[in-house]
Chains A and B, each alone.
Chain A
């Protein structure tokens, strides 16, 4: 069972390879989009590398629940509704949604996810301690 530090190092390595950033640019608080410059296709690359590094499967809607963000049920006028936020919290227990809740615009969602969120997600899959 890997430690959190070991999880972080592997996640960092995956991000360095996928995004072409330097080691020291990847910190727990770095946001995937804003700080590391990840674009939508990069997330597919990152998923592949995390699956390989940790021997896990990452279903599409688990890490990036874009079905919620494109649903008429959960999005109105470009913002995630109260019901949508509840669904996101249920689907993404590893992510800190508090900042996103202040302005739940769909376009801001991609900039919410941090390296730490990613580590927590992976840790939940591999049972890190």
Chain B
């Protein structure tokens, strides 16, 4: 199962702030299954969406080289429910960042009203976890493109965030493999 809890970014300022949207749909299996006769978006998955927004903001700061994991939710408050048809706006701001990780404050708004807020600590996996690869870089890039991160992302000087070279290399390698596989299959 894929674990995507935002639909796309609408703003992304490197190292500072990111805004993402999440459209809540009855077609998502968690909505009818979570609470019988009360179709709401589970608050844990709203938190997950806020963490996605913040986590990718932190990961981008290192050109997606640091392996960023959610280490701790310091606090989280949920003020209202979200129901099918709602569009949630997740906003994440980096409070502090250093080589070991980052502290990010995130909010979820619905129609301009504060629906949820959370402080999340992210850690960078260090050398003790050298063997762990969280994502295939080509697949990671594909997800980031789907989220339109490179369409809206800007650096502090206003220039666009470029796709990191290591991800482009991984994408080229994957395409080469696919091309060779197709060539073998063609008569």
Contact = CB atoms under 8 A, between A and B. Distances in A.
B72 interface: yes
Interface string A60-71: 100000000000
Nearest to B95: A52
Interface residues of B, number: 15
Q: Which range contains the number of A residues in contact with the other chain?
A: 10 to 19
Q: Is chain B's binding surface mostly helix, strand, loop or mixed?
A: strand
Contacts, number: 40
Interface of A: 17-18, 20, 41-42, 44-45, 47-49, 51-52, 57, 60
Given A44-B72, A45-B72, A60-B99, 16 more contacts: A17-B74, A17-B75, A18-B74, A20-B75, A41-B123, A44-B71, A44-B100, A44-B121, A45-B74, A45-B103, A47-B100, A48-B101, A49-B103, A51-B96, A52-B95, A57-B98
A45 B118 CA distance: 13
B102 interface: yes
B13 interface: no
Given A17-B74, A60-B100, A45 B121 contact: yes
A48 B71 CA distance: 13
B119 A51 contact: no
